[in-house]
Structure 1
Amino acid sequence: MASSNGVLEKGYSSGSISPAASDVQVEQPSLQDTFPEGGLHAWLTVAGASACLFVSFGWVNCVGIFQDYYQSHQLRDYSPSEIAWIPSLQVFFMIFGGLFVGKIYDDYGHAPLLLAGSFFHVFGLMMTSLAKTYYQILLSQAVCSAIGASMVFYPAFTAVSTWFLAKRGAAIGLAVAGSSLGGVIFPIILIHLIPDVGFAWAMRICAFLILGLLIFANLAVRSRTPPTKRAFEIMALVRPFKELTFVLLTISIFFFFWGMFVPVTFIIEHARTHGMSSHLANYLVPILNGASIFGRTIPNAVADKVGHFNVMIVMSAFTTALILGLWLPSTGNAAIITFAALFGVGSGAGISLTPALCAKISPLSQIGTRTGAAYSIAAFAALTGSPIGGKIVTDEEGTFKYTIVFGGVCCAMGTIFFVATRLSLGMKPLKM
């Protein structure tokens, strides 16, 4: 039977893993397991989750600022590819941590994760403010802080999913919009504070801001469903990969992330090679992240009506077209700024929709584990994408042409696999 919007996408019921027909009602709740779709605790959870995304993914969105700063200051003796391992590892540990965080969330709930994550994230940034050498920055910013960010990132949007079904896309979009806001505010703070108070105190001020928001998040975020502790079994992580749809979705996210982080990391350096002033180039990151607020909210609300996979295909294709059709030939300030704004919209939708896609094809009690499993694979894309891009720039003697092509082709592959995933939703599940 067709849904009201005429779109069919397979999902899971909250108590089983049987297919559901409707795109909007992909999880058919039982009488004892209805979704509130609102209320004080639900919207407080959204607000707390937004704070979590502000300090985790919002902080990671500053990678372009750090790539540029380290190349000019502490790590100027290192190549762009070597420096790119710092932001890449930062993104990797934040995303890969979901493999373990998801299991802990399902077993023990959100509270211990948020508390531990708050400590590690803030402690890592405080240590970064004291770091002088490559390995010190790597351990404090790219490992310790990133692991802490992972512990607040995953419980946040997973807890939101337990309160909403019909409005899940919009609710997650509002939560993920916090990462866009963080991606605007943190770069501006760093741009202004580093010259005034120095790098060390700029990092400490950011760490104190993160601490305050995480205190609020620890008090506000709640999961509607109680944790269900199970004995650890490796098959719990392997079993989802026996489903064709889950495998295709994981591959889709991998390729999209592989290409998406290339512009995020190198947009400032690319702009400078084409004559943009350092002051204006630094604001490309806030422009990109400011525009992504629209990409992380509006498409999610639309997706609740017309299908999350359908919107994801459109937005990933849009992102691919921007990289290859606009960023690749751009040389002037106007074209580069336009690309930054539009790319923020496209990539923002990609980031905010992927948790909803994982939730859509997962039983409610396994959302944490399955989302973590998918993202743990995608983490290797985030880990290698920027260093590969940096190596290409080095080999091409500072030219970004083939780095941009690499990013665009990866996003194109992601789009193709999103289409394949969408097509598989109408098929009988296949065992692999």
Structure 2
Amino acid sequence: MTNAATQFSSDSRIDPSIELPPVEGNVPPPTTTVIDHDDYPEGGLQAWVVVLGAWCAMVPPMGLINSMNIFQAWFSENQLKGMPESNIGWIISTYAFLVTALGAQVGPIFDAYDTWKLVVPGSIGLVLSMVFLSLSTEFYQIFLSFGICGGLGASLLFNPAVSAIGHWFCKRRAFATGIACTAGGISGIAFSLIIQYLAPRIGFPWAMRIIALISAALLGVASLTLRKRLPAEPRARLLMDFSLFRQKDFAVTVCAVFFVEFAVFIPYAFISSYALYQGWSLQDSFLLNTVLNAGAIPGRMLPGYVADRIGAFNTMCVTSMACAVLVLGMWQTAGDSRAAIMAFTALFGFWSGAAISLAPVCISRVCKIEDYGKANGMAYFIASFGALIGIPIAGALLGAGHDHYQNLIIFGGSAYLLAFVWFVIARGVAGGWSFGWF
């Protein structure tokens, strides 16, 4: 046990309840569950300033993701009118894919260098992509500006924002991450209202330029305040590290995150177009995105508070099952009932919030904190393929049966059931099968 413990830095230790096989030389054991020491700041001015910086850094990339159903509906009714929704879905899913997939490379860079070296170019790239989107009218132009350029810029912001918080908090990591992730809900509301009310009056191009201006101001704050606690390691490995998947607890946790990422974006992408199909006006359908994100604000903060007390894996099991019940129980039976659609949207917004805020916390529990950027990046690299294929597959299911949206809804609910099963497995493998904090 002593030899195994020495493989880890002073920022982490091996859970003494876990028996490890004998270790010879400097070869680490194949499976290691990491529990951190209590020498984190856990608060204080500098730590909370970092949370502020992470919040500012998350506003633009997560605001665009949380407004994806607005963009999906807007493009289908305006610039890309008449194009199949499955084709339009590739624009949104490519953006969501790149935000997380490129974390496999961004993560090691975060571990090796100062945060600003990622945040500054990411900020410039994302703001420019919004400006280019304001000038785009054809599918290939929107795909390149939003899907490709936007995803590239956002990928340099998301991973550092999440990983930097882990350097400053351990016991309160889930709550601090949840506070930062409320940026997605707030910006999702703000961006949606800008498109909903300003685009019809001043035009979509100027609405996007306003969003770009807001983003530039907040990303300037992020560039000045987002900092790591551990020193940069320029000699660290800068390439993707697939050896992390040799650790069983890390591998099964990544499988769980994959399925929850696969499932969560389906209602986000299609709830507004579902309302349009049920006869809602374009303006009213856009309001659903506001309701969805309003629910997500407490849904990202409160589960984090709970997770610090009962464990992030336990909380993810509960929230994943709750989302499966909501999709299969409420959305599937909502029909054209406005009250039912509105109730589902608000409740799903709350319960799905943990998928964004707690998934990286689960990853942090099965890696060393000095490797958090790399581990988080590799995990989301795999999970990003769920975001890439989930939305187009769901879009292709539209109209496949008698009830236009039923196959899509069943597909989304089944994905959440798989996420629940994998989080139960991950919780057992990484934390043990007896009930307790993990």
TM-score using structure 2 length: 0.90
Q: Which residue of 2 aligns with 1:18?
A: 14
Q: Which residue of 2 aligns with 1:247?
A: 251
- Paired with 1:161 and 1:244, the residues of 2 have a C-alpha distance of 22
User: Residues 16 and 385 (structure 1 numbering): CA distance in 2 closer, same or farther, change over 3 Å?
Assistant: same
Q: Which residue of 2 aligns with 1:292?
A: 296
| Offset from partner CA, 1:290-319 (integer Å, 9 cap, x none) | 111111001101110111111110011101
Q: Which residue of 2 aligns with 1:135?
A: 140
Residue of structure 2 aligned with 1:182, choices 177, 187, 196: 187
TM-score using structure 1 length: 0.91
- Paired with 2:178 and 2:220, the residues of 1 have a C-alpha distance of 22
Aligned pairs, number: 411
| Offset from partner CA, 1:256-307 (integer Å, 9 cap, x none) | 1112111000001111222233222111011101111111001101110111
Q: Which residue of 1 aligns with 2:330?
A: 326
Unaligned runs of 5+ in 1: 1-11
Corresponding letter in the other structure for 1:302? V
Note the C-alpha offset of 1:167.
Answer: 0.9
Q: Which residue of 2 aligns with 1:262?
A: 266
Residue of structure 2 aligned with 1:209, choices 211, 214, 217: 214
Q: For structure 1, which segment, 55-64 or 114-123, has the greater mean C-alpha deviation from structure 2 after superposition?
A: 55-64
**In structure 2, the residue corresponding to 1:283 is in which secondary structure?**
helix
| Offset from partner CA, 1:190-224 (integer Å, 9 cap, x none) | 11110111011111110011000000111111111
| Offset from partner CA, 1:327-368 (integer Å, 9 cap, x none) | 011020000000000001111012110011111111011000
| Offset from partner CA, 1:117-172 (integer Å, 9 cap, x none) | 00000011101111121111101111111211111111111111101111111110
Q: For structure 1, which segment, 114-123 or 142-151, has the greater mean C-alpha deviation from structure 2 after superposition?
A: 142-151
How many percent of aligned residue pairs carry the same amino acid?
A: 36
2:122 paired with 1:117? yes
Q: For structure 1, which segment, 396-405 or 61-70, has the greater mean C-alpha deviation from structure 2 after superposition?
A: 396-405
- Paired with 1:130 and 1:411, the residues of 2 have a C-alpha distance of 37
Q: For structure 1, which segment, 37-46 or 412-421, has the greater mean C-alpha deviation from structure 2 after superposition?
A: 37-46
Unaligned runs of 5+ in 2: 1-7, 19-32, 434-438
Corresponding letter in the other structure for 1:58? G
User: Residues 350 and 183 (structure 1 numbering): CA distance in 2 closer, same or farther, change over 3 Å?
Assistant: same
User: Residues 414 and 14 (structure 1 numbering): CA distance in 2 closer, same or farther, change over 3 Å?
Assistant: farther
Residue of structure 2 aligned with 1:194, choices 194, 199, 220: 199
**In structure 1, the residue corresponding to 2:80 is in which secondary structure?**
coil
| Offset from partner CA, 1:351-394 (integer Å, 9 cap, x none) | 11001111111101100000100100110110111100111104
- Paired with 2:93 and 2:50, the residues of 1 have a C-alpha distance of 29
Q: For structure 1, which segment, 272-281 or 117-126, has the greater mean C-alpha deviation from structure 2 after superposition?
A: 272-281
Superposed, 1:352-371 pairs within 5 Å as 352-371=357-376
Q: Which residue of 1 aligns with 2:53?
A: 48
Q: Which residue of 2 aligns with 1:154?
A: 159
Q: Which residue of 2 aligns with 1:220?
A: 225
Note the C-alpha offset of 1:16.
Answer: 5.6
- Paired with 1:153 and 1:197, the residues of 2 have a C-alpha distance of 31
2:230 paired with 1:230? no
2:113 paired with 1:108? yes
**In structure 1, the residue corresponding to 2:168 is in which secondary structure?**
coil
- Paired with 1:233 and 1:193, the residues of 2 have a C-alpha distance of 43
**In structure 2, the residue corresponding to 1:27 is in which secondary structure?**
strand
- Paired with 1:15 and 1:354, the residues of 2 have a C-alpha distance of 21
CA contact (8 A) 1:17 1:362 kept: no
Q: For structure 1, which segment, 339-348 or 386-395, has the greater mean C-alpha deviation from structure 2 after superposition?
A: 386-395
The Cα RMSD (Å) is 1.9
